[in-house]
Structure 1
């Protein structure tokens, strides 16, 4: 039987400086990485002690989908809405010590106090991130489809 999400959302987002954070809500010492290493750039992410930085190809708009499961879901080979292949995929382990996290960005290093807030069942989680990014030259004067970043989260086995 396929895993069904316990909760999910899709947000229109604009990543400042090509990055955004999923950070534990109680981490008062949160500091985003200042230097981006070649490994971070290649993997498009950086796992922190209580959250993760996710890098995007540019500062243009993304649709960020977050789904929380109670077990590992099946991972589609293509982006379900467009049927286009993912341009990058990574699976990592992350920690959210308070079992809650919020989304944030460089221009707003502290998440909004009233949401959105996400709840997970365990401190240690597995996370599958799939990117479907625009391929081609970017021109801010011409509308293009937003990148899609799909994030599936489930308890670490």
Structure 2
């Protein structure tokens, strides 16, 4: 098992969501109606890409790791040792074999990236959430939620 690429990004999820978007898919549209199932799973898989829903904190650390085979999955967030609150594994399709992060405020990825490259158009993704525990007072700095996304060929 080899790690093919990784990034750790400071992010602000407006409207409690962000997207992994195939930049070759001009038809990508996140769902306008969020069902209880989507909220329970904290994700939605459209035809191409991924929609990830966040708890309530505006700030996230998004860790993305791209592997050549399915990796070992830690039971806790590695930096703080806190257990994951939720975990989900899904199959995804990125026909161009690349994706970018986007959000409701930025519905399309910028034309020059950053992009994440994949070895395969069909991948598996394991998404793990660790939310900040405490008051959600936006006037006081809080630790960001952590969302880890591991991807590998399907």
TM score, norm. by length of structure 1 = 0.95
Residues 28-52 of structure 1: per-residue CA shift (max 9 Å, x gap): 1111110000110000000011101
Further displaced range: 55-64 or 12-21: 55-64
Query: Is the 2:57–2:144 contact (alpha carbons within 8 Å) kept by the matching residues of 1?
Result: no
Query: Is the 2:57–2:132 contact (alpha carbons within 8 Å) kept by the matching residues of 1?
Result: no
SS for the counterpart of 2:96 is: coil
**Which residue is equivalent to 2:12?**
14
Match of 2:82 among 81, 84, 89: 84
Residues 124-153 of structure 1: per-residue CA shift (max 9 Å, x gap): 100000000012330011111000000000
**Which residue is equivalent to 2:148?**
150
RMSD of aligned residue pairs (Cα, Å): 0.9
Following TM superposition, where does structure 1 have runs of at least 4 consecutive aligned residues deviating by more than 3 angstroms? Answer: none
Count of aligned residue pairs for this structure pair: 154
Query: Is the 1:16–1:59 contact (alpha carbons within 8 Å) kept by the matching residues of 2?
Result: no
**Which residue is equivalent to 1:31?**
29
Measure the CA separation in 1 of the matches of 2:114 and 2:56.
Answer: 23
**Which residue is equivalent to 1:108?**
106
Q: Is there any run of 5+ residues in structure 1 with no aligned partner, and where?
A: none
Measure the CA separation in 2 of the matches of 1:90 and 1:10.
Answer: 19
Q: Is there any run of 5+ residues in structure 2 with no aligned partner, and where?
A: none
**Which residue is equivalent to 2:122?**
124
Query: Is the 1:126–1:153 contact (alpha carbons within 8 Å) kept by the matching residues of 2?
Result: yes
TM score, norm. by length of structure 2 = 0.97
Further displaced range: 21-30 or 135-144: 135-144
Measure the CA separation in 2 of the matches of 1:69 and 1:95.
Answer: 16
